[in-house]
Structure 1
Amino acid sequence: MKFIKKGDKIVALSVLLLACILYFIFNFAVFADKPQTAEVYVDGELYASYKLSEIKAQKTVAIETEYGSNVLELTNDGVRITDASCKDKIDVRSGRITKANQMIICIPNRFSVKLTGNGNDVDKVTH
């Protein structure tokens, strides 16, 4: 009795190939821009903006708000959160972001940081 047929192998390989193609498209086409600016938002409002190209050495910035505190580590190629006053510290564990359009969000502190590139953001969202 034969369980795996030739057609099943073809379908499985096709799905695997499609998954690989989509992976490379999203990792190298969607996030291809080198980050230019780190935008810091508190409660949905732009709090600060840092041009990454102007940062020569590692820079640490402490941001204190009424919702809590976060400590950013900025370099010329990315951003990470090194400390936060929130309980779960998911934002600290998320690591460094280095590609345009990536974000780190701290919901308890109403804090987020987004890397922006050369203006290749999403043009329109339709429902």
Structure 2
Amino acid sequence: MTLKDYLNENDLFAADAGASIVEVREGYSRAVMKVVKGHLNAGGVCQGGALFTLADLALAAVMNSRGKLTLSLESNITFLHSAVEGDVLTAEATETFNHHKIPYYEVKIHNQEQQLICTFTAMAYRKKNDFPFESLM
């Protein structure tokens, strides 16, 4: 099973939110989610938790793309623009510092018009255990 398929099938929270991984390369991943009515907050825009879920799924893919089980230690999200119902969001995650124990990542979420919706940064802990997948894609 590929890392992409493993995460899409086993990250049940992200799947329930409508988020899915579409691309994984070593040090890079891309995930997508369409904003639906169930993502909206009382202000009528996409709830921050839905955006965090999309970013966190992209993070899971990029941080495990080197084959070792890697877990998030700390994450930070900054909201720049609102996403609205019907927007198709793309989260692109990159590994900005590849350390054998404590790597660092950045995720940017854009809408279909390439407007930057939010940025997300994370520090992780890379374990010695292999992650159970055969290939990335």
Report the TM-score range of the alignment, normalised by the length of the smaller protein.
under 0.3
Q: RCO greater where, 1 or 2, for CA within 8 Å and sep 6 or more?
A: 2
Which of 1 and 2 has greater Rg?
1
Structure number with the higher strand fraction is 2
TM normalised by structure 2 equals 0.26
TM normalised by structure 1 equals 0.28
